[in-house]
Amino acid sequence: MNEGRLRVVQCLLFIFGDGCWITPAATTGCKLGVSRRWALEHAGVKEGVIMAQDIREGESVRLSSAVGGFRRGKVTLKPRESTS
């Protein structure tokens, strides 16, 4: 986190808010990938600043990468317990 702003580097993050999907603005230092550009140009996704307090436990999110494509995700704020 940077001043409370979330940053994702291995894949792109999309959260639903204000009636549309939002991805971090380019000015936040997020990854500027091909799938992000496609979503902005063709899927009605908007850029915005996503603050830590905007994210809720169990919230449905979307993630994307050039290799993995678009996929669903779920916010888990609590650390996973070790299985070892």
How many percent of the chain have pLDDT more than 70? 83
pLDDT value of position 5 = 64
Does residue 77 have a pLDDT over 50? yes
**What is the number of other CB atoms lying within 10 angstroms of the CB of residue 15?**
20
CA distances from 21 to 16, 47, 78 (A): 4, 9, 24
Pair type for strands 20-24 and 12-17: antiparallel
Domain ranges of the chain: 12-67
- Considering only residues 38 and 54, tell me which one the structure prediction assigns the higher pLDDT: 38
Average pLDDT estimate for 13-27: 90
pLDDT value of position 43 = 94
Model confidence pLDDT, tens digit, residues 9-19: 678 889 998 88
